[in-house]
Structure 1
Amino acid sequence: MAGAAADGPLGEPEPWGERAAGTLRLLVEGAPGVLVRVPTAPAGLDVPVRGTVIHDPGDPLPPAPAAVLLLVGTDVTDPRACTVVRQAAERGFTAVMVKERGQDPARLTETADACGIAVLTAGDAVPWRQVDAELSCALAAYGIGGAAGTAPAGGAELFALADTLAAVAGGSVAIEDLDQNVVAYSKVSGQRIDALRERGILQRRVPDIPAQRRQYREVLAAPGVVRFPARSDELARAAVAVRAGALPLGTLWAIEPADGLSDEAAAALRDAARLAAPHLLRALHSPETERRLRRDAFRAVLHGAGPNGAVQHGAGLHGAGLHGAGLNRAGLHGAGLNGAGPPADEAAVRLGLRPGEEFCLAAFAPEPGAGPSGAALLGHLEAVLVRHCAAHREAATVAATVDAAYVLLPGTGTAAARRFADAALAVVRPAVGDGVRAAVTRPHTDLLQPAALRREADDVLRATAAAGRPANGAPAPATTVDDVRHRILLDRLGDELDRAPWLRLPGVTALLAHDREQGTDYAATVLAWLAEVGDVAAAAARLTVHPNTLRHRLRRVRELFPLDLDDPDVRLAAWLDLRRTASVPLPASARRP
């Protein structure tokens, strides 16, 4: 993370997502080695530029607002090139870049003028890979504001890498992408840190200060480690570019210890940059990687939290010590990286949750008793939900555990979440089975309470399992908390009996033991009678016995067991206890034919 230069004080941090983009003018000034001329710029040179897109004539053209389209392999005199220019203008590109190769681009330039898009030309002898690398380097020096907040946070590997490097260097470490988003940072106890680094970590982005741009240009142009002395209240820093070949991907910054950066730490910094490159490259080019990072963050939230609700975060690399002058690559690649990623508040940013925004959790599970096939069913269920969300709810994140597949729905209230769940069930059931159930939580705004969030979804699923299918035998629709709140309350009261068995009524314990040993049906008799609110005839019909038989059984219960069923509190306590361990038939009118 850069420090402020000597000729300018550190400014106030910009609001998230309001950072200025680069411009064509800055691009022309920052990449003189590849830009030959600007044949036309209808909107002038002070138009925003937020990145580059390499385009092959055979590929579809993606939408990329304010990007520069590199027309690789295009003949500027081919009428098809004019078609691509018109499409680029429609999709929001700022400019197209071509190589003239001795041809006259007049027709293409006229088309660009009419569409309002600029045309840039590159030197014929400069490889397109170098063109893209130098343009990316020039843009990175100025920040690419349009992408603010969209870059994915680093995965567990990058956080663990930052932790290990900080232990070697002695100071806080930050890994940044080309938009100067902080994608990962170290969390080593006692590491040296200053106010600028803390600000960048909190905002997950480095404040855009003009004087810092020279520092980023210097780091991205240098082949090795670049060091910056301490200034004002900012500590000395060392930085290195993260590259894939000649293509810049980001930067890696380490605050130096009080006695300066050792040769060992400098070598570790270079090694870390090489190890970070494939992770930043995948994040840059692969939507699937972004989905995986979101899924991993969501799964970390679901699987547990610390005392304050934050997801536990590994302190560093597992089995990756130091080797010679750098990082132990055998430890990194052999033993693997161990870390749970960013804490839950940062996971919220990765999952697309804005502060204070409502979200719901939908949970899907196979019918109870799936047996050994349950794990395979859950894997299939997760895959179907991922495909459904990709097509219909791109902002949603899906993750499966051993119990259920969960879907996080940002910006969603209960009614919308239920509509989503019902639509998903219509897709899931033909693929996985009619027994799949869906639960929808209340709207929440705090991802820092993951245990409560997941428990609520699990409670609804449990209540739906106990309720079974509707009387007509049709698969049940998605269930919300309001549908089964009473069942959740009773289940949780029953859970307390499981946690503290001494709370059970001795009369109920004796009654259940008698049924097991003697083959009697006293538990079912009491449950049926309680379910029918003391109506002997209705209870007898449930059990398909004569009412006198039911009366006789109730008299025997009073004689044999210390259970005062005339006391309403005892009746309630007995019913709570019995419903956990015994069952009562449905009324005859509710039974399936």
Structure 2
Amino acid sequence: MPRPGPPPAPEEGISLRQLLMSLGEPLVELQAAPAGLDVEVRDVAILDPEDPPQALPGELVLAIGARGRAALPALRAAGAAGAAAVAVKLDAPGQAAPLSEAAAEAGVALLSVRREARWEHLDALARAVIGSGRQETGAGGGEASGDLFSLAQTTAVLTGGIVSVEDTSSRVLAYSRSSDEVDDLRRLSILGWQGPEPYLSKLREWGVFQHLRTSGAVIAIEEHPELGIRRRLAVGIRAGTQPLGTIWVQEGSRPLDPRSEQVLLGAARVAALHLVRRRREVSADLRLTQSLLAGLLDGSTGPQSLATHLGLDARRPALVVGFALHADGAGAEAAGADASPVELTRAELTALISVHAAARHHSALVSPAESRVYVLLPELPAGLSPATVRGWVVEIAEAAGRHLGVRLRAAVGPVAPHLGGAHGSRREADRVLAAMERGTVGAAVAALEEVRAEVVLGEVLDLLAERPAMRDPRLSALTARDARQGTRLAESVLAYLDAFGDVRAAAERLHVHPNTLRYRVRRAEELAGLDLASPQQRLLAMLQLRLDAAPGPGDGA
């Protein structure tokens, strides 16, 4: 393929692993990857058999019209040029071995393409995957709603089905990974061909396409074994009254999740954001939205810019929910042996939160920030109670555990009277998350109103820890003595104070005799010069001794 002029400057791309995770079966199959799966794919090139075999670094070369051994020149040229991979069609399974050997010698990955697949369809899908990855990288981590393949996979996980996202011409834009449970309609659609005409005629006869064009409600299409078609749910993707496409969920070997309809509604809203923005300057628009949203949440920008950009009413109430992975919830179960936590925990978690939030609130906005994910709920309807929002958040946390194998902490910020109060709502949610991380709040989901005492106590303890001058040196010396001698005087004093001076209750908590506890408390007062009859000393002791409240190695006094 002639390339006049100097080659363009290379753009950032995605890894071959990401490309295969998105495309996978039934379009392509990996035959060889001599340089591993982390090689970068930056672009797609179509190599016609009449063109001289050549490529550019980082390209996925589609060797059209050259089946089997006829693709060897393209394979060698691609390897010499530093291309990422070459995709070929095979006439017979036995042709894979010699091509794989040639790919290993050339140092370039080899992908085999299903014979029934349309090259132009593979070209469009591969470019879409690379483009989505590039947008996410440019946006500093991106948002999951910007990647239709990620959205399709998340929707498949939440529904237990097999998902395809199509445009208004029934062309597949993205799809979820699947097993051999797919029916002919899905298989042919992904390969770039229309489904069985008898079935499509039935869909037209039943008014399914008309429903999807004119309604935002989910529609169910029952199984038709005589046509080789399994049960489906479908929902139209819409921007106001304008149809943008459709999301289809095919039932596999087990029934769809009972909450699939709600999941589909959220997925359709997230997909609409992506498709609308893609019709405009996608990368610039996504970056602007994320920048304005992040600025609003951290207090560096006011609400009007985001409100104007998205058409929000800044005068209506809003609140922020903060999510963080639990320390032991790194997602090892969900990630699998061959996938990185970044690909299968952070991105899929953000996608899951996006879908659930959009299903519950049409204007929900999601903002990943370092180790946390924030959801802004603007334009809250009148009468929406914090308890209702808390129930939504519990559902998201349960879904993350059920589908991704991760444990979430979540904090519901207070309702702000207007959009400008979103920063304050986020700040309060952060206070609760910080208390959860330090262990002073044990709940997995909470609002500040529910755990204010625990949050404030944790903040006071942090202040004491950071400023030694505020501590009583006598109590510090008592704790140090326990550490040196293996005694438990400080722990006993704290238990006594926590029990409001009830010796029997405190002794029972420590599993010691009441007389032992009385002796320890008297001994601590003597050694440290304390007067526990003083309310001020009792209060300071209750606070400071919590800094080092762990039992010592011994049980002596």
Q: Under a length normalisation based on structure 1, what TM-score does the superposition of the two structures give?
A: 0.41
Q: Which has the higher helix share?
A: 2
What TM-score results when the alignment is normalised by the length of structure 2?
0.44
Larger Rg: 1
